[in-house]
Amino acid sequence: MSETATRTKSTNDIKDIKLADEGRRRTEWAERSMPVLRQLRQRFEREKPLSGKRLAACLHVTTETANLAVTLQAGGADVALCGSNPLSTQDDVAAHLVRDHGIKVFAIKGEDHATYYDHIRAALAHRPDITMDDGADLVGALHMIALNRLDDLAPPVRKWVETLSSADRKALVAGVIGSTEETTTGVIRLKAMAKDGVLQFPVIAVNDSQTKHLFDNRYGTGQSTLDGIVRATNMLIAGSTVVVAGYGWCGRGFAMRVRGAGANVLVTEIDAMKALEAQMDGYRVVPMSEAAPVGDLFVTLTGNVEVIRVEHMRAMKDGAVLANSGHFNVEIDLEGLKQTAKGPTPVREFVEEWRIGEKRLFVLADGRLINLAAAEGHPASVMDMSFANQALAAEHVVNNAKTLSKDVHRIPTDLDQEIASLKLQAMGVAIDTLTPAQRKYLASWDMGT
């Protein structure tokens, strides 16, 4: 589709419905590793907590997301789904959701910029009561509409909004009773909106649940980022020097996995506490300018812009590989690279060569989330908890729509604990319970000296 064309399909826009059988098989395979979400689905089927609600989700269209979408539908929601990244859609999964569940899906792997935003438009045209984001794209667009900043909307969304009356635009935003957000980058933006007093409805920061970031960001991103890089390049990690930019939840997880695979790991940070932690975890902490000439593989996991800049690229060795696993493709300065280097020359799927003089640099997946572009994203077992949080967050929004303030909230701690308990149960892991004496001891200040 050309950059200017506009899609008109209102119920779905997917690559090929004939892929549905494969999508169903793979979604069922993922479901086997999602016992917590399965239990929730059974309860949702009985209780229908989302009955009559229209829900628009902008998530990576993967087998795990399919299981979430079906759970939300089981709870009574009318679900529309668009992709949260142009490269992360699994086309067979999209086909399965459309054919076997009648879910409206707007997502095609490799879609161009215009199509990506036309799919966001289609999700908004679903007139959601609840939105579910991974990176705040739906909420971001709704706020540009609310604040009448139409020039800040991508053209396919702007053109559609311009056809709506002012009352209709107001109704679109006012119709949203609440939203949920999956990732760190989205939560940072939403907190900034709340701080500026512009947030139009309550948002549940799913990322802030312990059963989300402690496991999904650390173990999910850790493993799947390595998986994506290995699938894209087939490079040997053992003995190589890997530079991990950012030692937050994702960076920690990736550094741990890549060290386990035999790499020498260097960490770059801007936060003294995180840098200290990395140093004491046994990594070498250096500024990017020192890491640049020695790294074989550079991976950004910061949620920040221009972490790897042209000055670093110029200093890199011939053959260095650059990948990103942070939310947006802004962590490697690709614009600067374009202006400085010759290329890109495709080398193999997800690998492009750039030349700076005689030196070759290889950028993976156009700097987009490597674990979702070149691999399958996080394993289902970890998404089980993240998406149990999403489903419970949607229910929480419905149950508490009248009392939740227009702010960024966490789901209540007892729900977070419940997800952890269910996961342990499903893993066959038992834990001790407090004895009455222990409970009393922990609650007192005058015992035990």
Ligand X SMILES: NC(=O)c1ccc[n+]([C@@H]2O[C@H](COP(=O)([O-])OP(=O)(O)OC[C@H]3O[C@@H](n4cnc5c(N)ncnc54)[C@H](O)[C@@H]3O)[C@@H](O)[C@H]2O)c1
Pick between residue 251 and residue 367 the one whose CB is nearest to ligand X.
Answer: 251
214 alpha-carbon distance from chain centroid: 14
Q: Least distance in Å: CB of 140 to ligand X?
A: 14
Residue-by-residue DSSP string for 84-145: SSTT---HHHHHHHHHHH--EEE--TT--HHHHHHHHHHHHTT--SEEEESSSHHHHHHHHH
Pick between residue 307 and residue 321 the one whose CB is nearest to ligand X.
Answer: 307
Q: Is 131 in the site for ligand X (CB under 6 A)?
A: no
Number of residues that bind ligand X (CB under 6 A): 29
Q: Least distance in Å: CB of 182 to ligand X?
A: 8
Measured CA to CA, the distance from residue 107 to residue 304 in angstroms comes to 26
Q: Is 202 in the site for ligand X (CB under 6 A)?
A: no
Pick between residue 20 and residue 301 the one whose CB is nearest to ligand X.
Answer: 301
Pick between residue 121 and residue 252 the one whose CB is nearest to ligand X.
Answer: 252
Q: Is 247 in the site for ligand X (CB under 6 A)?
A: yes
Q: Is 95 in the site for ligand X (CB under 6 A)?
A: no
Interface with ligand X (CB under 6 A), residue from 73, 115, 268, 390: 268
Pick between residue 19 and residue 82 the one whose CB is nearest to ligand X.
Answer: 82
Running DSSP on this structure, what letter comes out for residue 220? I
Q: Is 371 in the site for ligand X (CB under 6 A)?
A: yes
Pick between residue 15 and residue 274 the one whose CB is nearest to ligand X.
Answer: 274
Part of the chain binding ligand X (CB under 6 A), chosen from 26-34, 110-118, 162-170, 364-372? 364-372
Pick between residue 330 and residue 398 the one whose CB is nearest to ligand X.
Answer: 330
HSE-up (13 A, CA, CB side) for residue 245: 28
Pick between residue 152 and residue 306 the one whose CB is nearest to ligand X.
Answer: 306
Pick between residue 249 and residue 298 the one whose CB is nearest to ligand X.
Answer: 249
Q: Is 79 in the site for ligand X (CB under 6 A)?
A: no
Q: Which residue is nearest to ligand X (CB)?
A: 248
Radius of gyration over every alpha carbon of the chain, rounded to an integer in angstroms? 23
Part of the chain binding ligand X (CB under 6 A), chosen from 155-163, 168-176, 242-250, 315-323? 242-250
Part of the chain binding ligand X (CB under 6 A), chosen from 12-20, 181-189, 256-264, 398-406? 181-189
Q: Is 213 in the site for ligand X (CB under 6 A)?
A: yes
Both tokens assigned to 74: 């089981």
Q: In terms of DSSP H, where are the helices of 281-316?
A: 288-291, 310-315
CA neighbor of 83 nearest in space, from 73, 70, 93, 71: 93
Q: Is 210 in the site for ligand X (CB under 6 A)?
A: no
Pick between residue 210 and residue 400 the one whose CB is nearest to ligand X.
Answer: 210
Both tokens assigned to 384: 């089980």
Q: Least distance in Å: CB of 377 to ligand X?
A: 6
Give the dihedral of Cα atoms 97, 176, 400, 249; nearest 10 deg.
60
Residue-by-residue DSSP string for 14-79: -S-GGGHHHHHHHHHHHHTT-HHHHHHHHHHHHH-TTTT-EEEEE---SHHHHHHHHHHHHTT-EE
In degrees, rounded to 5, the angle at the alpha carbon of residue 11 between the alpha carbons of residues 9 and 15 is 70
251 alpha-carbon distance from chain centroid: 15
Interface with ligand X (CB under 6 A), residue from 12, 180, 184, 211: 184
Q: Least distance in Å: CB of 300 to ligand X?
A: 8
Based on the number of CB atoms within 10 Å of its own CB, is 350 exposed (0-12), middle (13-18) or buried (19 or more)?
A: buried
Please give the C-alpha separations between residue 185 and each of 71, 136, 218, 248, in angstroms, as whole numbers: 25, 8, 15, 12
User: In the window 288-347, what residues touch ligand X (CB under 6 A)?
Assistant: 301-304, 307, 325-327
HSE-up (13 A, CA, CB side) for residue 388: 32
Interface with ligand X (CB under 6 A), residue from 34, 245, 263, 398: 245
Residue 383 and residue 34 in contact, taking contact as beta carbons nearer than 8 Å: yes
Interface with ligand X (CB under 6 A), residue from 226, 250, 392, 411: 250
Measured CA to CA, the distance from residue 87 to residue 376 in angstroms comes to 11
Which residues of this protein are in contact with ligand X, per CB under 6 A?
183-185, 213, 217, 221, 245-251, 268-271, 274, 301-304, 307, 325-327, 369, 371-372
